[in-house]
Amino acid sequence: MRKKAIDRSKCRGCKNCELACIAVHSAGTTTHTAYATGMKTTERARNKVEADPQNKSFPQFCRHCDEPACVEACTSGALTKGADGLVVCDHDICIGCYMCVMSCPYGMARPSVQTDGKMIKCDGCRGRDVMACVAACPQRCLTAVEVDDPGGGHLIYADEPAPNACGSKP
């Protein structure tokens, strides 16, 4: 199973992972064309880079939790956890109620600009050979790793354990 390993000590806040995510999920085929089309038609990044209380940059991604609160809260059944461990949204079923947005303890479910306000989140670049964010990271704080254990969510923190918010089981 492919997971994303994050070494937060290497992140410099360049946001290349965000731009790569925008490009791969937008009509534009490159970061530049996706950005140039404007934010009203360009999809938002499904990840984000923020600063911690010590003003240190760190990337945030959907954890594809073992027991995802967003899936539990989804009233339409659009969010499901696949056999590959990824939590994905079926936009044909999503009704845009934002219960998933309100229930995610990490703030990683967001409204979409391309799907009339339905939700988007990291899809782990399912179906792609390489995760766009990993390929774009110049500091290599993001790497893809193959592991046998399907549990524990989609992320592995190389530098320190990630805190659990709201009792979620990543």
pLDDT at 26: 77
Bridge partners for 110 per DSSP: 120
> What local confidence, expressed as pLDDT, does residue 167 receive?
38
The whole-number pLDDT of residue 168 equals: 40
Q: What are phi and psi of 9, to 5 degrees?
A: -70, -20
Q: Within its chain, how far is the Cα of 76 from the centroid?
A: 21
Q: Give the DSSP H or E segment for 51.
A: strand 48-51
pTM: 0.82
- Helix (H) or strand (E) holding 57, with range, is strand 57-60
Total residues belonging to the chain: 170
CB 23 within 8 A of CB 153: no
DSSP assignment string, 132-162: HHHHH-TT--EEEEE-S---S-SEEESSSPP
Q: Are strands 87-89 and 79-81 parallel, antiparallel or unpaired?
A: antiparallel
| Below-50 pLDDT ranges, the chain | 161-170
**Confidence at residue 147, expressed as pLDDT on a 0 to 100 scale:** 81
Domain extents in the chain: 2-157
Fold that domain 2-157 belongs to in CATH: Alpha-Beta Plaits (3.30.70)
pLDDT in tens, 67-110: 999 999 999 999 999 888 899 999 899 999 999 999 999 999 98
User: Coil, strand or helix: which one is 67?
Assistant: coil
- DSSP 8-class letter at 17: H
Look up residue 19 and give its amino acid.
Answer: L
Residue 96: left if φ>0, alpha if ψ -120 to 50, beta else—which one? Answer: left
